[in-house]
Amino acid sequence: MFGYASDVYEIGLFPLGLVLLPAERIPLHVFEARYKQLIGRCLEDGSLFGIVLAVESGLVAVGTKAKVVEVPGRWPDGRMNVIVEGRARFHLLQLTEGRTYVVGEAEDVVDEPGSSLEQEVLERCLEAHRRLAAVAGMDPPEIDLDPGDTAFRIAAQVDFGTSFKQELLEMRSEEARLSRLTDLLVGAAETLELQKLARKRARGNGQAELG
**Three-state SS at 164:** helix
Q: Rounded distance, CA 137 to CA 157, Å?
A: 15
**4 vs 179: which has the higher pLDDT:** 179
Largest CA distance in the chain: 68
Nearest to 179 by CA among 150, 142, 139: 150
Given this model, what pLDDT does residue 5 score? 63
Q: Rounded distance, CA 93 to CA 106, Å?
A: 5
Note the pLDDT tens digit of each residue in 88-110: 999 999 999 888 999 999 999 99
- Which residues lie below 8 Å from residue 112, measured CB to CB, with a gap of 6+? 2, 3, 172, 173
Residue 203: CB atoms within 10 Å: 10
What is the mean pLDDT of the segment spanning 117-129? 91
Given this model, what pLDDT does residue 210 score? 37
Query: Which of the four pLDDT bands, split at 50, 70 and 90, describes residue 147?
Result: confident
Given this model, what pLDDT does residue 118 score? 85
Query: Which of the four pLDDT bands, split at 50, 70 and 90, describes residue 203?
Result: confident
Q: Rounded distance, CA 190 to CA 211, Å?
A: 17
Given this model, what pLDDT does residue 1 score? 39
Given this model, what pLDDT does residue 169 score? 96
Q: Rounded distance, CA 44 to CA 91, Å?
A: 25
| Sequence ranges of the domains in the chain | 9-108, 118-203
Q: Rounded distance, CA 100 to CA 123, Å?
A: 46
Element (DSSP H or E) covering residue 12: strand 9-16
% residues pLDDT > 70 (the chain): 93
Given this model, what pLDDT does residue 205 score? 60
| Chain centre distance of CA 166 | 8
> Does the pLDDT value for residue 62 go beyond 60?
yes
What is the mean pLDDT of the segment spanning 113-134? 89
- Please name the CATH architecture into which domain 9-108 falls: Roll (2.30)
Given this model, what pLDDT does residue 170 score? 96
> Does the pLDDT value for residue 2 go beyond 50?
no
